[in-house]
């Protein structure tokens, strides 16, 4: 068996130790004689899994008691509608910052349910930066303020949060959840599709402050009402059982193998520094994002020639660096270096890039 270095933006790599553990437990989970895939979600043994996953997430992310953790389906994209339906209910107004496709889609969905003020956008330069925000342009009476924290496609991240005062800050953290410590108290809602940095596809985590639950619009489908899921401990209907189990294994790996989010962040910085340092010194490759807004998770880069980009992607793939083609709106390459990508993977990529530059320069 040989495993590749997988730079996919999502679904993406999982820690090898987690996959091995899941394989070991595949046919018989802890003496139950069943796979986790086969269990009733109402069984006592499955209860230990979902409760274990929640308490580990609370511990690892330091989530305060006045926040609910919901394990849902439908992907981050379903929350694009759930957010306005649950929150746009007092003044029917929200502020959005447009930093890429995901923020744009979330914003378009919100427009169906109320008044949306686009505070700022970085569309003018293909979303290669995070716009400077001026609080005097924020709506004083918005029901919430929305950002996409890490922009998976464009490789930008907020290093500083907007100061929204009493207005709840809502953030899509799909591609940066568990990559670094985060002060949950600064947010009203944090949410993420799991398939980038947490688990396989199928699970969406919503972390929501309690006072923001229970005000959903009358038209809200039952399945999109956070109160229904909060009141039922994410068991209103069948939760994504196996994916929650995988998330639990990933959280155990972060806690026990890595040593928590401070350590995870250190490792992620080390990996990203290595790649950005190479890009900044290369005569052939360059990063597409302004240095101050660079993501630690998604690193888009290009050469000045379409032909070289294509050649690089082809040769990289042959050498076992897969899924490194950039998003069609940016072109070139993108290396997603989530938690599960080992330092050695980034080192091997950088060595290969240096070799390619030497042979083609
Ligand atoms: C991948 C991604 C999404 C979409 O997630 P789905 O679970 O496929 O709906 C939304 N936001 C961000 C930041 C993403 O990276």
Ligand 1 mean position, distance from CA 266 (Å): 25
Q: Answer yes or no: do 157 and 35 share one domain.
A: yes
Q: Answer yes or no: do 166 and 283 share one domain.
A: no
290 in any annotated domain: yes
Q: From 205, 231, 257, give the residue that closes a domain.
A: 257
Average of pLDDT values for 75-84?
98
Q: From 257, 277, 300, give the residue that closes a domain.
A: 257
Q: Answer yes or no: do 55 and 202 share one domain.
A: yes
Q: Answer yes or no: do 193 and 224 share one domain.
A: yes
304 in any annotated domain: yes
Average of pLDDT values for 105-131?
98
Ligand 1 mean position, distance from CA 304 (Å): 29
Q: Answer yes or no: do 219 and 304 share one domain.
A: no
Select which of 68, 95, 102, 143 is catalytic. 102
The pLDDT tens digits for 17-27 are 999 999 999 99
6 in any annotated domain: no
The pLDDT tens digits for 278-331 are 999 999 999 999 999 999 999 999 999 999 999 999 999 999 999 999 999 999
Select which of 68, 196, 248, 325 is catalytic. 196
Could you tell me which residues come within 8 angstroms of residue 314 by beta carbon, excluding any fewer than 6 positions away? none
Ligand 1 mean position, distance from CA 105 (Å): 10
Q: What CATH number does residue 39 fall under? A: 3.40.640.10
Cis ω for the linkage preceding 350 (within 30 of 0) = no
**Residue 336, beta-bridge partner list:** 298
Confidence band for 78, pLDDT divided at 50, 70 and 90: very high
pLDDT at res. 361:
85
Could you tell me which residues come within 8 angstroms of residue 42 by beta carbon, excluding any fewer than 6 positions away? 235
1 in any annotated domain: no
Statement: residue 55 has pLDDT above 80: yes
pLDDT at res. 305:
96
220 in any annotated domain: yes
- Nearest residue CA, atom 7 of ligand 1? 75
Confidence band for 64, pLDDT divided at 50, 70 and 90: very high
209 in any annotated domain: yes
Average of pLDDT values for 146-163?
98
Q: Quick check: 175 and 10 in contact, CB under 8 A?
A: yes
Q: Which atom of ligand 1 is found nearest the CA of 77?
A: 9
Q: What CATH number does residue 271 fall under? A: 3.90.1150.10
Read off the tokens for 253. Answer: 């790996």
Name the nearest CA neighbour of 167 among 90, 277, 55: 90
d(CA 335, CA 271): 11
**How far from 117 is each of 97, 110, 130, 164, 212, CA to CA, in Å?**
9, 10, 17, 14, 20
d(CA 206, CA 208): 6
Catalytic residue flag (residue 102): yes
d(CA 308, CA 302): 9
The pLDDT tens digits for 166-211 are 999 999 999 999 999 999 999 999 999 999 999 999 999 999 999 9
Choice from 9, 75, 295 to test ligand 1 binding pocket (greatest atom count within 8 A of CB): 75
Q: Answer yes or no: do 155 and 245 share one domain.
A: yes
Confidence band for 2, pLDDT divided at 50, 70 and 90: confident
Q: From 257, 279, 301, give the residue that closes a domain.
A: 257
Statement: residue 93 has pLDDT above 90: yes
The pLDDT tens digits for 233-285 are 999 999 999 999 999 999 999 999 999 999 999 999 999 999 999 999 999 99
- Nearest residue CA, atom 12 of ligand 1? 174
**Residue 2, beta-bridge partner list:** none
Identify the domain containing residue 352 by its residue range: 261-360
Percentage of the residues of the chain whose pLDDT score is greater than 70? 100
Structural domains counted in the chain: 2
Ligand 1 mean position, distance from CA 342 (Å): 23
Read off the tokens for 88. Answer: 């746009």
d(CA 319, CA 197): 24
DSSP 249-305: HHHHIIIIII-SHHHHHHHHHHHHHHHHHHHHH-SS-EESS-GGGB-SSEEEEE-S-
Q: Answer yes or no: do 172 and 310 share one domain.
A: no
Q: Answer yes or no: do 245 and 231 share one domain.
A: yes
Catalytic residue flag (residue 196): yes
Select which of 68, 95, 143, 172 is catalytic. 172
Q: Kindly list the protein residues whose Cβ atom lies closer than 6 A to any atom of ligand 1.
A: 10, 75-77, 102, 148, 152, 172, 174-175, 193, 196
Q: Which atom of ligand 1 is found nearest the CA of 75?
A: 7
Ligand 1 mean position, distance from CA 94 (Å): 20
Q: Answer yes or no: do 248 and 291 share one domain.
A: no
4 in any annotated domain: no
Name the nearest CA neighbour of 251 among 261, 238, 241: 261
Q: Answer yes or no: do 81 and 161 share one domain.
A: yes
- Nearest residue CA, atom 2 of ligand 1? 174
Phi and psi at residue 4, to the nearest 5°: -85, 165
Q: Which atom of ligand 1 is found nearest the CA of 78?
A: 9
Choice from 8, 10, 83, 329 to test ligand 1 binding pocket (greatest atom count within 8 A of CB): 10
pTM over 0.95: yes
Q: Answer yes or no: do 186 and 299 share one domain.
A: no
Q: Answer yes or no: do 171 and 317 share one domain.
A: no
8 in any annotated domain: no
pLDDT at res. 1:
77
Burial of 247: CB neighbours in 10 Å, binned 0-12, 13-18, 19+? buried
Average of pLDDT values for 3-13?
97
């Amino acid at each position: 068996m040989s495993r590749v270095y997988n730079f996919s933006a999502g679904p993406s790599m999982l820690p090898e130790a987690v996959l091995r553990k899941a394989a070991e437990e595949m046919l018989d989970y802890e003496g139950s004689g069943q796979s986790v895939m086969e269990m009733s979600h109402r069984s006592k043994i499955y209860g230990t899994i979902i409760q274990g996953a929640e308490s580990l997430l609370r511990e690892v992310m330091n989530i305060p008691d006045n926040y609910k953790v919901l394990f849902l389906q439908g992907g981050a994209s379903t929350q694009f509608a759930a957010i306005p339906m649950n929150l746009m209910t007092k003044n029917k107004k929200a502020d959005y910052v447009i930093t890429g496709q995901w923020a744009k889609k979330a914003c378009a969905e919100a427009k169906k349910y109320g008044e949306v003020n686009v505070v700022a956008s970085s569309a003018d330069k293909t979303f290669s930066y995070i716009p400077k925000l001026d609080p005097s342009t924020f709506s004083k009476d918005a029901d919430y303020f929305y950002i996409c924290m890490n922009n998976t496609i464009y490789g930008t991240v907020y290093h500083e949060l907007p100061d929204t005062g009493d207005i709840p800050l809502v953030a899509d953290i799909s591609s940066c959840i568990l990559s670094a410590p985060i002060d949950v108290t600064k947010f009203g809602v944090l949410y993420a599709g799991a398939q980038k940095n947490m688990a396989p596809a199928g699970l969406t985590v919503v972390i929501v402050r309690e006072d923001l639950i229970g005000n959903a619009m009358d038209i809200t489908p039952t399945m999109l009402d956070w109160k229904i899921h909060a009141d039922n401990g994410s068991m209103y209907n069948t939760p994504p059982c196996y994916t929650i189990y995988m998330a639990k294994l990933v959280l155990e790996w972060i806690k026990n193998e890595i040593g928590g989010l401070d350590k995870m962040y250190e490792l992620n910085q080390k990996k990203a520094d290595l790649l950005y340092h190479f890009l900044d010194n290369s005569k052939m490759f360059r990063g597409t994002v302004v240095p101050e807004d660079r993501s630690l998770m998604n690193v888009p880069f290009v050469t000045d020639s379409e032909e070289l980009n294509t050649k690089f992607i082809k040769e990289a793939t042959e050498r076992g660096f897969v899924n490194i083609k950039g998003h069609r709106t940016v072109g070139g390459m993108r290396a997603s270096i989530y938690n599960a990508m080992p330092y050695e993977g980034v080192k091997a990529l950088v060595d290969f890039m240096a070799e390619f530059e030497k042979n083609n320069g």
